[in-house]
Amino acid sequence: MSEVERLDFDLDVSVDEVADLINFVNPVPGRHVYAVAFAGLDRIGKDEDAALGVRIIYQKISTLEKANESDPDTPDGSVFGENFTSNTKGMEFLKARLKQMYGEVSGSFRPYIEELQENAQAVQMVLTTTITKSTSNGTTYENVRINDVEILETPMDLPEGYKAFEYEPKL
C-alpha cells in the first residue's frame, strides 16, 4: 500500500487556484454530444482481482435537446460510463454498441476500441434514464440507457475551458 502524505487544510488558498472537479453524473434524458474520454480494458468490479472487461467513459460536450426542458441540465465536462463484462452477454452488448457506432462490424474488438480511445471520438447520443428499486434491499437506482449513438464525422469545437477527463484503468 502506498503512503499518503498528510496535509493540513489551508483556508487561505484561493478557490481560483483549485481546478474544477470533473464528476460522474447521470445525464438528463435527451440528445447530447459526448467525447469518448476512455475506451479500453479495465477491471470491472470493486475487487482487486476482478475480471478484465471493457469500459467506455464518455465526457459531455453539450446538450442538443432535453426530453423535458424543465429538467436541470448536467454540467458540460461531466462524465458517465458503461462497462462490458468478459462473459458472453458482455461481449454481445459491446458488439451491439459498436454496431450502433460503426454500422456493420467484423473481426476482433481491438481495432474498434483502439480507435475510440486514440481518436477521442465525438458521439451523439439519445439517452433515457430509468429508476429501479431493488427488491432485496430497497435501494433506488438510476440507470442510464443509451438508446442511440453515432460517431460524429465532423470535428467538434470544444467549449471554452473544456478540460479532458483523465482515467487510469485498474489493470
Q: What integer pLDDT is reported at residue 107 of this predicted model?
A: 95
Boundaries of every domain in the chain: 22-151
Q: What is the pLDDT of residues 20-42, one digit of tens each?
A: 667 788 888 999 999 899 999 99
% of the chain surpassing 90 pLDDT: 34
Of 87-91, 94-98, 131-135, the poorest mean pLDDT is in 131-135
Rounded to 5 degrees, φ, ψ at 135 are -80, -20
H/E/C letters for each residue in 37-93? EEEEEEECCCCCCCCEEEEEEEEEEEEEEECCCCCCCCCCCCEEEEEECCCHHHHHH
